[in-house]
Structures are given as C-alpha cells and as structure tokens.
C-alpha cells in the first residue's frame, strides 16, 4: 500500500472551496478509492485527476473514481505529476476537487479524433457550453473559461487546439496533452465521466464567481537569429532559408558559440512570434536531413532561435504576478511541459522547480504539449488559476 495524503485545502467561512489529494501505487481501483475518500465532502462540483501512466487499469480507475464521488470526473494519464514536492519516484496520482456554488462546469467529449479533429473538438466545447445552458456565443470572458485535455499519442493535438479555441474565440482556452512515463508502452489517454478513452479529447467550460486567469509562462530568451521554414515533413523541418535544415541551423548557431546537438535538453530551441509573443517549439531531435520539433510547423513560418533562461526564477515571478492580479491563487491547474523538467534534471534544479509549483495550491502534470488559445506549444507552463471572489 502506498502513502497518501492531502497536499492542500483552501477554506473560507463558507467551507472548503478546493482540495488537492494524492495517492501512490499502480492498482487502479485502490488508487481511485483512496482519492475518492479524501475528496468526499458536501458540495463537490468537479474533480480533475492526473493519473500516473503506470496504473494497471485506467478503465477500472476511471469507473471507480466516478462511481465513488458525487460530481463529474475528468482527467488523463501523466508521466509525472506536479504540485507534489516529494514524489520519490513512486507512482503518484493526484486529483483536485472544487466545492461550492462559486463554480459550475460543463463537459464535452470528442472521440475518434482521427476522422475530423477540428470539427470534433469544436463540437465538444460547444456541448460543454450547452450543458451549462449557455449558448457558445453567449459565453462571457469575465465569468467563463475553458480547459482541455487531449490524448498525447493521437497525432491530432494541434488540430484539437485549433477547433476547440476557434469555437469560443471570446474566452480563454488553455490545456495540456496527456503524457506517459517512458519507456511505458501504454498510450497517453484521457477519461471523462467514468470512461477511459484514446484518440480523444475533453473540453471543460467553467462558469465561476471568482477571479481567474488562464496564463502561460516560458523562460526562453530570444537571440537575434531567425530563419524561414521553406520545407517540412510532418513535425520535421527539412529546409531553412532554402538550405538543408541541419546545415543552416549549424551556420546560424556558430556565431553565438552554440554547438548543434540534440535531443534535448539543449541550450536553445525555436519559437514562432505572434503579435510580439513567442510561442515555443521544443527541439526534439536532429539528424543528417531534418530538425524535429515537438509541435507542427508550416512552411513560411519565421522561427527565432531562443536560449534557455532562468527556469525557476521566471516561473516564480510569473506565478507571483498571477497571484497579485487575481487577489491570491486559491487553486491552480498546471500543465508543465516535460521539456522543462528534463532541463531541471540536467541542471540540478528539480527540487527548486517542484518547490516553485508546490508553494501554491497546484494540481498538474508533466505534459507532452500545452494549449494556449488555438496554438499548441511546448517548453511552456500553461495554467488556470482561481483567486478571490469577484
């Protein structure tokens, strides 16, 4: 039997509004039962669970947890969770419960993404809005926000982001891509309302009476080097500036004193700028013919070379800024790119990065990609924080 325990509980005079709990182990039904026991409390409105991908039966876990709590449950697999300061490499699953009438949640599920991912993700978020008895066009950016979870092995993560966010352009949409713990052979999956699903995504629309912020944080800093993508193959760049991509990148990096190497962690990667904001694409690998990124890229995109910066310091500063803007973070969902944690491991910063997350009431996981609006990014922390009453 593994250890378990609540990592935080946020209370007000009206009672508990948020509780984050954890359980260790791989036995799906037992882990679900332990989480449910800790979450049990009047007024439970929504449960979000991030489950260690080594769990023996995700379907059994999803059914058991949904059967034991009096609220809808959504979640996904995780290579590792965040918001837990000391995981000790033990299989750890975590869940956040929201309580009280300050929150309502609508859920939409998109299955069989391979057939038409943009349409199916669009329909999922519309169904989520409709379940709140609100037309999608009537969603209010002051009261409504959405988050998503998508199968990280479906190959349709980018299209899911496009379809879900484009369906409700007036509100913020953030989210994360389900992950696995390599070399775990099981797929990265999602679950909703008792069903475990692959080739699927989930959209959750939240109506809240509290201040909130959907935000991102990334610590990469720009260099003065950029190149135009002139040929691609899937997620691989084969040409930059009309030249073989690895050769051209080597030429660009040499004056900066950066040695061309991969896979990550490296000291550099790419970003695409949109309206002056960098959206990072982590560099996954380089061979003789191509540069492979963690997210899709298109011909004509201008890619800026970025250096890694202050991972822990930037994370702390960005979270402190969110905290100030919403009157204090009382509960936070976090999707933190696996690349951030691999960099932390390479630089001896694991404890510091874990502490930066666990200082606040955080429930999250190491994701295979992060959604910010219609874009799928990597090397990024995407979050949804709830603060003081409005």
- Burial status of residue 387 (CB atoms within 10 A of its CB: 0-12, 13-18, 19 or more): buried
Average pLDDT of the chain, as a whole number: 90
Tokens of 143: 């009261």
Residue 162 predicted with pLDDT over 50: yes
Q: How far apart are CA 195 and CA 212, in angstroms?
A: 29
Residue with tokens 């949804």: 384
* Angle value at C-alpha 357, between 76 and 16, nearest 5 degrees: 75
Place of tokens 């990024």: 380
Pick 243 or 296 by higher pLDDT: 243
- What is the reported pLDDT for 14? 54
User: Residue 346: which residues within 8 A CB-CB, separation 6 or more?
Assistant: 265
Query: Is pTM beyond 0.85 here?
Result: yes
What's the rounded Cα separation, in Å, for the pair 144 and 121? Answer: 18
Contacts of 273 (CB under 8 A, 6+ apart): 279, 302, 304
Cα(79)–Cα(55) distance, integer angstroms: 11
- pLDDT for 132 equals 96
Q: Where are the domains of the chain?
A: 4-215+312-389, 221-307
DSSP letters, 107-143, are: EEEE--TTT-HHHHHHHHHHHHHHHTT--GGG--TTT
Among 58, 95, 96, smallest CA distance to 195 is for 58
Q: What is the pLDDT of residues 15-52, one digit of tens each?
A: 689 999 999 999 999 999 999 999 999 999 999 999 99
What is the share, in percent, of the chain residues with pLDDT greater than 90?
A: 74
Quote the CA–CA distance of 257 and 124 in Å, as a whole number: 47
Beta strands 81-82 and 362-367, pairing class:
antiparallel
Cα dihedral sign for 230, 232, 236, 238?
Answer: negative
């Amino acid at each position: 039997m593994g250890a378990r325990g609540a990592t935080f509980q946020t209370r007000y005079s009206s009672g508990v509004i948020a509780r984050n709990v954890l359980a260790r182990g791989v036995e799906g039904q037992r882990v679900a039962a332990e989480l449910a026991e800790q979450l049990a409390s009047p007024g439970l409105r929504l449960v979000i669970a991030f489950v260690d991908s080594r769990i023996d039966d995700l379907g059994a876990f999803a059914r058991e947890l949904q059967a034991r709590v009096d609220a809808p449950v959504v979640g996904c697999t995780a290579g590792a969770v965040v918001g837990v300061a000391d995981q000790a490499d033990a299989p750890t699953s975590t869940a956040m419960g929201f309580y009280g009438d300050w929150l309502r949640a609508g859920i939409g599920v998109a299955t069989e993404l391979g057939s038409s991912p943009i349409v199916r993700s669009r329909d999922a978020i519309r169904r989520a809005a409709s379940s709140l008895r609100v037309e999608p066009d009537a969603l209010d950016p002051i009261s409504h926000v959405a988050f998503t979870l998508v199968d990280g092995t479906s190959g349709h993560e980018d299209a899911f982001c496009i379809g879900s966010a484009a369906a409700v352009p007036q509100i913020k949409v953030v989210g994360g891509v389900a992950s696995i713990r390599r070399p775990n052979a099981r797929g990265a999956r999602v679950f909703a309302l008792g069903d475990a699903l692959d080739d699927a995504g989930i959209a959750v629309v939240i109506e809240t009476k509290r201040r909130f912020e959907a935000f991102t944080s990334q610590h990469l800093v720009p260099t003065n080097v950029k190149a135009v993508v002139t040929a691609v193959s899937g997620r691989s760049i084969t040409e930059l500036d009309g030249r073989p991509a690895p050769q051209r990148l080597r030429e660009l990096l040499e004056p900066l004193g950066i040695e061309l190497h991969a896979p990550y962690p490296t000291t550099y990667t790419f970003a695409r700028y949109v309206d002056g904001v960098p959206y990072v694409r982590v560099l996954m690998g380089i061979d003789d013919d191509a540069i492979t990124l963690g997210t899709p890229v298109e011909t004509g995109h201008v890619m800026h070379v970025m250096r890694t910066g202050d991972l822990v310091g930037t994370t702390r500063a960005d979270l402190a800024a969110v905290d100030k803007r919403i009157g204090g973070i009382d509960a936070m969902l976090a999707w933190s790119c696996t690349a951030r944690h691999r960099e932390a491991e390479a630089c001896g910063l694991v404890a510091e990065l874990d502490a930066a997350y666990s200082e606040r009431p955080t429930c999250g996981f190491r994701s295979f990609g992060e959604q910010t609006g219609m874009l799928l990014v990597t090397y990024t922390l995407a979050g949804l924080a709830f603060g003081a009453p409005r």
